[in-house]
Amino acid sequence: MADAALIACHECDLLQREAALPRGGVASCVRCGATLYRSHPDSLERTLALTAGAILLFIIANSFPIVGLALQGQVINTTLYNTVHTLWDEDMKSVATLVFVTTIAMPVLQLGALVYLLVPLRIGRVLPHFELVYRALHAAQPWGMVEVFMLGVIVSLVKLAHLAGVVPGIALWSFAVLMLVMAAIAATFDPRAFWAQVEALQ
């Protein structure tokens, strides 16, 4: 990088030249010390690997029961999708929509966007409309709320435990791990590395 790009500090607006960082290094503003950017070694490869893991977890989380309730000798199992369906049928349409959007639609959008952007990049290509997909990925991030969902499920399970036998299902554990993997993706994905690779191709 002979002709280093300029970067403005997001805290104090000071313009400075970007410098190449050592592995795991952090660039700080010379005036106010704010973190400008950090080096994420192998950011895109790691993000891709985590995305593959997240997709697998997401499929398991949606195919198996979240929880089984043992009531009067009967065990009722329910998956996430069934729950959304039941809420809709019980005329709790806004809750059903919220659960669907935050725990199914947004994770699908996020993971789909990552695959669309990173898999072709791995073989040195970018697909059409990738800027739009990149923007969608950013827009989806605050709406994916797997962790809020987990908290809600745990609170309800504790309450339900007084009324019925609660059997946590495979999907519940998958959701718990998915929550961690999604957080790891957010921490690993480095937009700077992404755009640097895209620019190198064009």
Residues found near Zn ion in the complex (CB under 5 A): 9, 11-12, 14, 29, 31-32, 34
Distance (Å, whole) CA 122 – CA 93: 41
User: Cβ 138 to Zn ion, closest distance in Å?
Assistant: 23
Phi, psi at 128, each rounded to 5°: -60, 150
Pairing of strands 15-17, 26-28: unpaired
User: Cβ 13 to Zn ion, closest distance in Å?
Assistant: 7
Among residues 120, 102, 85, 122, which one has the least CA distance to residue 182? 102
**Which residue, 17 or 138, has its beta carbon nearer to Zn ion?**
17
User: Cβ 189 to Zn ion, closest distance in Å?
Assistant: 24
Q: Using CB atoms within 10 A of its CB, is residue 159 exposed (0-12), middle (13-18) or buried (19+)?
A: exposed
User: Cβ 16 to Zn ion, closest distance in Å?
Assistant: 8
**Which residue, 4 or 161, has its beta carbon nearer to Zn ion?**
4
User: Cβ 29 to Zn ion, closest distance in Å?
Assistant: 3
Distance (Å, whole) CA 114 – CA 122: 12
**Which residue, 35 or 63, has its beta carbon nearer to Zn ion?**
35
User: Cβ 152 to Zn ion, closest distance in Å?
Assistant: 39
The alpha carbon dihedral of 38, 43, 47, 50 has a sign of negative
| Enclosing H/E stretch for 171 | helix 170-188
- Angle of the 106-122 helix axis to the 130-140 helix axis, nearest 10: 140
**Which residue, 31 or 125, has its beta carbon nearer to Zn ion?**
31
What does DSSP assign to residue 141? G
**Which residue, 12 or 155, has its beta carbon nearer to Zn ion?**
12
**Which residue, 34 or 75, has its beta carbon nearer to Zn ion?**
34
